[in-house]
Structure 1
Amino acid sequence: MSWTRGLPAALAVCVLLLTGSAGCGTGDAHEGKDGRSASPVGRVLEDTDEDGRHYREVQKKDAPEVGIEVQPDADNAWDVRLTVRNFRFSAGGAKPQAVAGRGLAYIFVDDRLVTRLRGLNCRLPARLVPRGTHHVTARLYADDGTVWAVKGEPIESTADITASEAAARPGRTEDTTALSASRTCPRTGGRGSPERAGKAS
Structure 2
Amino acid sequence: MTTPTPISCPVPGLRRTVPAVAALAAVLLLALAGCGGRATTHHKPGTGHEQATGGNGTLLAARDESGHRLRELPAAEAPAVRAEVRPDTEGGWNVHLALERFRLTPESTGGAALAGRGHARLLVDGRETARAYGTWFHVPAGARTLTVRLYADDHTVWATAGAPVQTTVPLTAPAATPSRTPEPPAAPAARTLDIRVTGSTVTPAPSRVELKKGERLTLRVTSDRADTVHVHGYDREAVLTPGTPATLTLTADRTGLFEVETHESDLVLTQLVVR
* Relative contact order higher in (CA < 8 Å, ≥ 6 apart): 1
Relative to structure 1, the CA distance from residue 11 to residue 29 in structure 2 (aligned partners, 3 Å threshold; closer, same or farther) is: closer
Are 1:155 and 2:155 counterparts?
no
Cα drift, residue 7 of structure 1: 9.6
Are 1:94 and 2:78 counterparts?
no
Cα drift, residue 17 of structure 1: 1.4
Match of residue 97 from structure 2: 82
**How far apart are the structure 2 equivalents of 1:119 and 1:79?**
13
Match of residue 212 from structure 2: none
Match of residue 121 from structure 1: 136
Cα drift, residue 14 of structure 1: 4.3
Are 1:18 and 2:13 counterparts?
no
Task: Please list, as runs of the form range in 1=range in 2, the aligned pairs for 1:1-201 lying within 5 A after superposition.
Answer: 1=11, 2=13, 13-20=27-34, 28=41, 30-31=43-44, 35-39=46-50, 40-92=55-107, 94-127=109-142, 129=143, 134-162=144-172, 178-179=173-174
- Structure-1-length-normalised TM-score: 0.66
Q: Deviations over 1:106-155 (max 9, x none)?
A: 1111211121011111001215x2xxxx2211100011111000010100
Q: SS of 1:66's equivalent? A: strand
RMSD: 3.0
Q: Deviations over 1:69-91 (max 9, x none)?
A: 11101011200110101111112
**How far apart are the structure 2 equivalents of 1:29 and 1:65?**
30
- Structure-2-length-normalised TM-score: 0.50
Contact 1:161 1:179 in 2 (8 A): no
Cα drift, residue 30 of structure 1: 2.9
Contact 1:38 1:44 in 2 (8 A): no
Contact 1:81 1:121 in 2 (8 A): yes
Contact 1:58 1:148 in 2 (8 A): yes
Relative to structure 1, the CA distance from residue 93 to residue 60 in structure 2 (aligned partners, 3 Å threshold; closer, same or farther) is: closer
Return 5+ residue gaps in structure 2 as ranges: 1-10, 176-275
Relative to structure 1, the CA distance from residue 12 to residue 43 in structure 2 (aligned partners, 3 Å threshold; closer, same or farther) is: same
**How far apart are the structure 2 equivalents of 1:111 and 1:16?**
49
Cα drift, residue 98 of structure 1: 1.0
**How far apart are the structure 2 equivalents of 1:8 and 1:30?**
28
Which of the two has higher C-alpha Rg? 2
Which one-letter code corresponds to 1:103 in the other structure? G
Which one-letter code corresponds to 1:121 in the other structure? W
Return 5+ residue gaps in structure 1 as ranges: 163-177, 181-201
Which one-letter code corresponds to 1:144 in the other structure? D
Match of residue 187 from structure 2: none
